[in-house]
Structure 1
Amino acid sequence: MSPLRLFRAILREASCLPHPYLQSFAKGRAGDYFRRYRNSPEPLKHLSRARSNLRKLERINRGERKPFMQLLSQAYGRTGKLRHELLQPHLASSDPTLPSRERIIPSKPNSVPPTYTPTLASLLTSPQAIKTSKPLSHANLLTPRTLPTRAIDPSSEEARLLGPFSLRRLVNIHQRQYREQTSRVLPPLEVRVLPGRDALEEKQLHVPSTGLEQYDPVQALVKLATAGPRPTPSRSRKQGHPDDVKQAEPHCHEVVLGKVKHHSRRWLRRRYRELLASIPSVTVKPRPGDLPSEYKVDWASPELALAHDVPRPLRVMTQEEKEWIKRAQTCGEQSHTGRVSKQ
């Protein structure tokens, strides 16, 4: 297949995706790829990736779940290049007011341990914003988990036997933890500010912004996850009756949700709910006085996030249930002690 026919086939398959944003994302990515390698001396070498993208789009339009979730993750910044762009506002390089840490090796300028911004620290210590189930603690941000005892306490028995810990190894451990943890974190699509962004800017407090706040992407995803079926037009509307068109206008949905060939809109709503389970929500709230702002990480949509993707409590345990559990534990302990005494 020639490059032009392959590009047209990708655009044709991308036009069958169920949402306009996914269509534009797939078409733009294909256009950038072909535009980058169109003047290559051997363009056929770069067509294998384009063919794999075409096969993936065909699998999506056939209704397969795995490639569709991969496309959603790339389009909404859970993986890929967009994820790094969404994470950039939460790094120390984007906050000029953040003080740097002291050097570990005084004579080496590159021995400064990584600095965690308040937003990044909140994301790394929250179970809603990391890919694994074990987040960091606030103490681990300054003291990595993999540090041995002699690096933390120079007067310990291990330090007395093995000698002082190497400062270069200490620098490498700090940098390695920073790279590993930032590769696990899931960046938010938007940063909410209470009561407003202008109030914090007047206090000269730096507030990160992804640039997507004006589009409200989380609310658009919630609408896609809860969108019902399209209203079926009546006979008079098919015939072009003007009164029937006016009556049908209020029932039209703002968010258009299409249909994959072999799956219904209910299947699509479930896929968008799985996507919402991997999107954290960051809220910035100013503290009283001249104290810095408080960063809170929560679920983007707790009522729609699926528990099997990101572990979260389904609901809060009531006091009556706690009493029942306590009573069952005491009864179990009494029966166990009774059996032991009989023996």
Structure 2
Amino acid sequence: MARPQPSHWLQDLSKSHQWRHLLRATLRECTYLPDPIAREYMRNHVISRYRAVSSRRVKAGPQTAHAAKHAFSVLRRANEGYQRPLEKVLLLSYGRTGKRRHALLADMLGNHLPQNTASLKEYLLQAPEFTDGWEPPVIVKSLALAHVQNPVVTTNRIRPLIKKLSPPIPKENSWGKELSESRRKTIRRRWYNTTLSSLMPPIPKKELELLDGLISGTVKWSPVKRRKVLFEKTKPQPESELFQLLAKGPEKGDTFAAYANGRPHEITARFMRRQWRRLSSLVPRLYWNPYLEKWRFTWDSPKDVPALAFDLSSNVDPSGIFQSLKQERKAERKPPPQQ
């Protein structure tokens, strides 16, 4: 049996079977997403949103219907190759924005809690939260510093910019007196919450390896094939020239009105590598610096950067390489033999 055309049942969502059609169509668009992580995350996200609404046992209002239609529209335009909807889906799936960013941030902070007795004693001896002598976690300070030093993060403006790396506590208030303890505590709490809202946490190791493999081409990728449409679009009845003139005015030439909000791109490997490379530049890489004995973060470049150095194995003598280069240059400088 042929399925109804989406434009028919999207206009009214007053009945339960229309919501089922919308849910199935949204999940179908999730399976067509060109990114493997986005396919899994968006499917689980859509199901959880629909279950949260259905568990309330109340009639969905116009705001809920608008949000459901908007989610379906974003996924459909992302699969059609529109760059902004596709970028929005990738940012949500990789935790750069949205609900998953909070989950990754909580995992990052939870993994750096005291793991042994010595660190636990040191943690308990710290000052209470946001009081005088309190310091934010080291991992938060290191990640905030990495955000400030990365020009890609500051220019993309995906998250709010970090303006201060420490709480801006003035020495005196407007009356020239020392700031009260409650006021200092409030400033620290607001600064800490604002800083957390600006951070983009690292992603799990498996997802990072998959992202790097998609960029380098070591992980095989091919666009998802859409299934054939079972329904046929009804052809509009031809209108008379007089009716078109009275209703729509004189016929216009070719304009860019259809591409005012972007244009669809063909989803190819080259197109997706650009999206993944741009996304990878927003994912921090966490590593332990043995010299400073601190956690540090590095960022990937949004464009391919030529390597200015190469690694040598232990059984290769570097002096021999430079010696051979000198001999090649001398051979090039020699004049050609005379005939």
Q: TM-score range by the shorter chain?
A: 0.5 to 0.7
Partner of 2:24: 8
Partner of 2:314: none
Q: Deviations over 1:199-246 (max 9, x none)?
A: xxxxxxxxxxxxx33x2x22211221233xxxxxxxxxxxxxxxxxxx
Distance 1:269 1:129, change over 3 A: same
Residues in 2 aligned to 1:113 and 1:57: alpha-carbon distance in whole angstroms: 48
Question: SS where residue 200 of structure 2 aligns?
Answer: coil
For the pair 1:148 / 2:166, whether they are aligned, the reply is: no
Distance 1:298 1:163, change over 3 A: same
Question: SS where residue 86 of structure 1 aligns?
Answer: helix
Residues in 1 aligned to 2:110 and 2:38: alpha-carbon distance in whole angstroms: 32
Counterparts of 1:203-242 in structure 2, within 5 Å, are 212-213=204-205, 215=206, 217-227=207-217
Residues in 1 aligned to 2:214 and 2:186: alpha-carbon distance in whole angstroms: 44
For the pair 1:84 / 2:88, whether they are aligned, the reply is: no
Partner of 1:297: 297
Q: Give the number of the structure whose alpha-carbon radius of gyration is greater.
A: 2
Q: Deviations over 1:230-270 (max 9, x none)?
A: xxxxxxxxxxxxxxxxxxxxxxx643242687332211110
Distance 1:256 1:293, change over 3 A: same
1:44: Cα distance to partner? 5.0
Q: Is the 8 A contact 1:188 1:281 kept in 2?
A: yes
Question: SS where residue 283 of structure 1 aligns?
Answer: strand
Q: Is the 8 A contact 2:41 2:93 kept in 1?
A: yes
TM-score (norm 1): 0.60
Consecutive unaligned residues of structure 1, counting only runs of 5 or more, are: 104-108, 152-157, 190-211, 228-252, 308-312, 317-343
Distance 1:275 1:41, change over 3 A: same
1:130: Cα distance to partner? 9.3
Partner of 1:258: 223
The alignment covers a number of residue pairs equal to 237
Residues in 1 aligned to 2:162 and 2:125: alpha-carbon distance in whole angstroms: 24
Residues in 2 aligned to 1:93 and 1:115: alpha-carbon distance in whole angstroms: 18
Question: SS where residue 132 of structure 1 aligns?
Answer: helix
Residues in 2 aligned to 1:6 and 1:297: alpha-carbon distance in whole angstroms: 42
Counterparts of 1:1-343 in structure 2, within 5 Å, are 1=9, 2-39=18-55, 40-43=57-60, 45=62, 46-91=64-109, 95-96=113-114, 97=120, 98-99=123-124, 101-102=126-127, 111=131, 115-126=135-146, 127-128=149-150, 131-132=153-154, 140-141=165-166, 144=167, 146-150=168-172, 162-189=176-203, 212-213=204-205, 215=206, 217-227=207-217, 254-258=219-223, 262-286=266-290, 293-299=293-299, 301-302=300-301, 305-306=302-303
Distance 1:186 1:171, change over 3 A: same
* Counterpart code for 1:41: V
1:122: Cα distance to partner? 0.8
* Counterpart code for 1:180: T
Percent of residue pairs bearing the same amino acid type: 22
Q: Is the 8 A contact 1:221 1:276 kept in 2?
A: yes
1:38: Cα distance to partner? 2.1
Distance 1:224 1:167, change over 3 A: same
Q: Is the 8 A contact 2:93 2:100 kept in 1?
A: yes
Question: SS where residue 201 of structure 2 aligns?
Answer: coil
Q: Is the 8 A contact 1:123 1:297 kept in 2?
A: yes
Where do 4+ consecutive residues of structure 1 move more than 4 Å?
A: 109-114, 133-137, 313-316
TM-score (norm 2): 0.60
* Counterpart code for 1:256: W
Q: Is the 8 A contact 2:210 2:219 kept in 1?
A: no
Question: SS where residue 124 of structure 1 aligns?
Answer: helix
